[in-house]
Structure 1
């Protein structure tokens, strides 16, 4: 039912939350804040939080508070606020484990061609959100979507998160939104904050351009994206992952208000 609620509506939907679950209090606070805003604006909301971070530049980077502990926090967010939740998976075992706690399984961009992972996600019967690889054309995402559908799961969506531009930057080709909608025949999401990453920094810590969050988000809605993905934190400078490109939590209400006006204007 969640999938139909996301796609059968006139307003864009929102996937938003912290990059990684750092603790119960922070997750509940973010979910409560964003839900109040989205309820008022009529935006379908899915809480996002990674239960672990497997793709890290350095061995000493934060990866999580423990798989089961973080998944239970995601389940508590779902139960307490009555909203669906999404988390990343990296292995077939992750798919089976996370499916007990969440509504949407997200395939990281670097893993979007991993057949066994896509099939495992599909076999759970959960909604599957596949992030487009930074190295793939929009047309190529059709084959990732086909793997999920041919494994028995029609509830699939894809997410644009930027394309590699040189060694330390990403760029969003907005033609890809329409191309993927036509090629994949499923909802297409714009991952605003990851599109503004500056990876492969000499320090081993990914950089970002958060000042351009509104630019990317507005353009995504203007070209007809079905959903928006935003990572947010009360204090991004203290976030344990991806703080350099996250939106400060107190700024999300104003941004969403402006995005709603754009959506209404183009409708």
Structure 2
């Protein structure tokens, strides 16, 4: 479990080794500078792209090799998402945290397979799901033997083509599920299906939503970052530019310090950031 306030960050999709490693190195440097543990995230396969011809990534075999290089070069623990049952055990050979995508958060076999690896599991809350309804997903993973579980809030459908964030969700899910609750500050600004058949986004709202989520008591953050979001192969319209991450985290640290001064910074069920030792 995540014992300290932790950041999960990285590009949406694995790209060239040089970019992956450089992003990882920058994240490690920023982590040291602001005092917030970082878990590197990236996907080897985006199986849920809106368009059939959209880039999906390097695939499982090459993708895990790339993630392993990032781990070796940076010392950061690794998170990646899985979409099929047989990816769980293979992914766990490299990843310290397995992630269940929001669209798959009710898939019992996938949840159990992730838990059976004995790794930590991060479950994205479905965009249609009430906070309390995540209890069943958490229990499936726990009962299968996961090292620990976190749940990530990534917004709720607000009609067609829009998402909103209910700041009450952090307290409601933590109370119901008894696990740390992470806030995904980049996917929550997506505009599903509003970019010629792919998802658009409103990235200008990322900083304000992140600050609000920290004030509301989230236990950690999930942010997709990229040195050049406009030219990224996936989620170009909602990723945070990498050079904007450190100043944002400095504000996050200031908010948490202010909460601590008034006795509001206790985080029930805080969990330890996983070791990159695997």
Q: TM-score range by the shorter chain?
A: over 0.9
Q: Name 1:242's counterpart in structure 2.
A: 235
Q: Name 2:263's counterpart in structure 1.
A: none
Unaligned runs of 5+ in 2: 261-278
2:203 equivalent to 1:192: no
Question: In 1, distance between residues paired with 2:59 and 2:109?
Answer: 24
Question: In 1, distance between residues paired with 2:41 and 2:76?
Answer: 11
What does the per-residue CA deviation read over 1:183-223, in whole Å, with 9 as the maximum and x for residues that have no partner? 11111000000000000226112100110110110011101
Question: In 2, distance between residues paired with 1:120 and 1:264?
Answer: 39
Which protein, 1 or 2, shows the higher relative CO under an 8 Å CA cutoff with sep ≥ 6? 2
Give the direction of change, closer, same or farther, for the CA distance of 1:202–1:19 in structure 2 (3 Å limit): closer
2:17 equivalent to 1:63: no
Q: Alpha-carbon deviation of 1:103?
A: 0.4
What stretches of structure 1 move > 2 A for 4+ residues in a row? none
Q: Name 1:207's counterpart in structure 2.
A: 200
Q: Name 1:120's counterpart in structure 2.
A: 113
Let me know the Cα RMSD of the aligned residues. 1.0
TM-score by length of 2: 0.92
Q: Name 2:269's counterpart in structure 1.
A: none
Q: Secondary structure at the match of 1:83?
A: coil
213, 219, 225: which one aligns with 2:218: 225
Q: Name 2:29's counterpart in structure 1.
A: 36
Question: In 2, distance between residues paired with 1:149 and 1:63?
Answer: 30
Q: Secondary structure at the match of 2:193?
A: coil
Q: Name 2:251's counterpart in structure 1.
A: 258
TM-score by length of 1: 0.95
How many residues matched? 260
- More helix per residue: 1
Question: In 1, distance between residues paired with 2:204 and 2:26?
Answer: 22
Question: In 2, distance between residues paired with 1:101 and 1:77?
Answer: 10
Q: Alpha-carbon deviation of 1:14?
A: 0.1
> Residues 117 and 145 of structure 2 are in contact (CA less than 8 Å); yes or no, is this contact kept in structure 1?
no
Q: Alpha-carbon deviation of 1:154?
A: 4.6
> Residues 119 and 147 of structure 2 are in contact (CA less than 8 Å); yes or no, is this contact kept in structure 1?
no
